[in-house]
Amino acid sequence: RVSRGELELPEGLPDDGDHWTELRTSMREMTTRLKNREREVTRKLEQLQAVLSSMVEGVLSIDSSGHVIQANRAAANMLSFERDHLLGRKLLEVIRIPEFRAAIERTQLQRQFSSAEFVTLGTSKRRLAVRVSPIQNPQESGVSIVLQDVTELRMLEMMRRDFVANVSHELKTPLASIMAYSETLRSGAINDPEHNMEFVEQIEKQAGVLNSQIKDLMELARVESGETDFRSDEVPVNRVCERCADLLRELAARAEITLTLDLATRPVMVMGDGNALETVVNNLVTNAINYTPRGGSVRIETAADEQFGIVRVVDTGIGIKPADQARIFERFYRADKARSREKGGTGLGLSIVKHLVQAMDGRIDLESQIGRGSTFSVHLPRRTTSATVAS
Ligand code: ADP
């Protein structure tokens, strides 16, 4: 019975002498040892299954005849199969993607590591990286396959490449003007009293643009790095708005725009960062002034509801068409390129605003109509009062 794997010794084995007793004792010990080993093997197997099924990487193994002997949930999900549908099947019969098949076949034939990257078929279109290694085991000459979803990673890499290209292009534009104006001055215009000052002023203006671009890029990098805590202070919203209005009154007056404040009568306190909120309001009001024709108006409003302190910047300007509304928060996206350049815009102001608002756990909304104007509304979580803490 023991040899059949039935590890319970029958009761009442005949007890006729020392030999039997010895045999019985050693068989009892043997069955205990075997049972422990079986338990240990089961526990290890369960542990292995648990590790495999909690992995984000897909893991598959196939035997020497190409049949799937092991597949975790992630692998099945990535390849859009039911796990049970994969187990026991010949992998190359179910996989249609040429790059994936080629990598498996290469390792099967040459017994060497191979890798590939491919996009899945069907609607999900994920980009997967696959690494195939021969199983180094004398009893099993199959291969093991690890799949990693690199869709986001590749997208980020692409965004970074685009960003670097954009930055270089943006910085080159004012630099090219500076070089052109100084070249003109050097080749004679410096002695032309009617124009020389104008050229110098242009050089100063373009240097200013370059300076704003670098400042905005550094600000964006700081916000995006996530290293600064933007949520820790109590910020008096009305006071921040008043300060911004004071700072920008002259810019508005020069552009012949009426800048008004319409503040909530009670103080509005939010949890955030005073400097960050000032940058947000400043950027929004500067934009409102820049994109509103002469004679128009810009209003800064504050309010509060149960949860949020609210700042609205309302202008009677040129407006933003619906297709551009979702995109103007992207880095370097400009709806009105000519006007932005004329005003020394960097195309970064609104992406800084969006990141800062999000870093303070808030949100920004936009309503706009072409030719009528735009309203940017910022919602920031209010100070937690003792009443809310208690509840
Ligand atoms: P910029 O430095 O070009 O102003 P922003 O990131 O601040 O960059 O804004 C992106 C684009 O959104 C601007 O180029 C402009 O086309 C548009 N925009 C922003 N604010 C307004 C507004 N109040 N009215 C109309 N268009 C706006």
Among 352, 381, 211, smallest CA distance to 287 is for 352
- Ligand 1 centre from 3 Cα, in Å? 83
Atom of ligand 1 nearest to the CA of 318: 25
| pLDDT digit string, tens, across residues 68-82 | 999 999 999 999 888
Atom of ligand 1 nearest to the CA of 334: 14
Atom of ligand 1 nearest to the CA of 292: 24
Residue 319 φ then ψ, to 5°: 75, 170
Asked if residue 387 has pLDDT above 50, the reply is no
Alpha-carbon span 137 to 141, nearest angstrom: 7
Among 308, 251, 328, 320, smallest CA distance to 282 is for 251
Among 61, 71, 67, smallest CA distance to 88 is for 67
Task: Give the CB-side neighbour count of residue 25, counting CA atoms within 13 A.
Answer: 6
Alpha-carbon span 354 to 337, nearest angstrom: 20
Which residues fall within 8 angstroms of residue 31, CB to CB, at 6 or more apart?
2, 7, 8, 9
Alpha-carbon span 230 to 362, nearest angstrom: 11
Would you state the pLDDT for residue 175? 94
Instruction: Report the nearest-CA residue for atom 17 of ligand 1.
Output: 335
Helices (H), the chain: 18-54, 73-78, 83-86, 91-94, 98-110, 151-186, 196-225, 237-254, 274-290, 322-325, 337-342, 349-359, 386-390
- Ligand 1 centre from 335 Cα, in Å? 7
Q: Which residue has the tokens 């940017």?
A: 376
- Ligand 1 centre from 145 Cα, in Å? 49
Pick from 215, 216, 340, 353 the residue to mutate for probing ligand 1's pocket: most ligand atoms within 8 Å of its CB. Answer: 340
| Ligand 1 site residues, Cβ closer than 6 angstroms | 283, 287-288, 291, 315, 317-318, 320, 328, 333-336, 340, 345-351, 374
Would you state the pLDDT for residue 214? 93
End-to-end CA distance of the chain: 67
Q: pLDDT-derived band of residue 318, with 50, 70 and 90 as boundaries?
A: very high
Q: Which residue type, as a one-letter code, is found at position 219?
A: E
The three state secondary structure string of 111-172 is CCCEEEEEECCCCCCCEEEEEEEECCECCECCEEEEEEECHHHHHHHHHHHHHHHHHHHHHH
Pick from 328, 332, 368 the residue to mutate for probing ligand 1's pocket: most ligand atoms within 8 Å of its CB. Answer: 328
- Ligand 1 centre from 322 Cα, in Å? 14
Instruction: Report the nearest-CA residue for atom 19 of ligand 1.
Output: 287
The string of DSSP codes covering 280-309 is HHHHHHHHHHHTS-TT-EEEEEEEE-SSEE
- Ligand 1 centre from 275 Cα, in Å? 21
Under DSSP, the state recorded for 67 is B
Cβ-in-10-Å burial (0-12, 13-18, 19+) of 134 comes to middle
Atom of ligand 1 nearest to the CA of 337: 14
Instruction: Report the nearest-CA residue for atom 11 of ligand 1.
Output: 334
Atom of ligand 1 nearest to the CA of 287: 20
Asked if residue 301 has pLDDT above 60, the reply is yes
Would you state the pLDDT for residue 19? 76
Alpha-carbon span 136 to 103, nearest angstrom: 17
Would you state the pLDDT for residue 16? 62
Atom of ligand 1 nearest to the CA of 333: 10
| pLDDT digit string, tens, across residues 2-50 | 656 666 666 665 656 677 888 888 888 999 999 999 999 999 989 988 9
Alpha-carbon span 36 to 62, nearest angstrom: 30
Would you state the pLDDT for residue 390? 37
Cβ-in-10-Å burial (0-12, 13-18, 19+) of 197 comes to exposed
Would you state the pLDDT for residue 7? 61
Summary mean pLDDT of the chain: 90
Alpha-carbon span 230 to 271, nearest angstrom: 9
Instruction: Report the nearest-CA residue for atom 20 of ligand 1.
Output: 287
Would you state the pLDDT for residue 139? 77
Alpha-carbon span 277 to 223, nearest angstrom: 13
Instruction: Report the nearest-CA residue for atom 3 of ligand 1.
Output: 347
| pLDDT digit string, tens, across residues 210-262 | 999 999 999 898 888 887 778 778 999 999 999 999 999 999 999 999 999 99
Q: Which residue type, as a one-letter code, is found at position 158?
A: M
- Ligand 1 centre from 347 Cα, in Å? 7
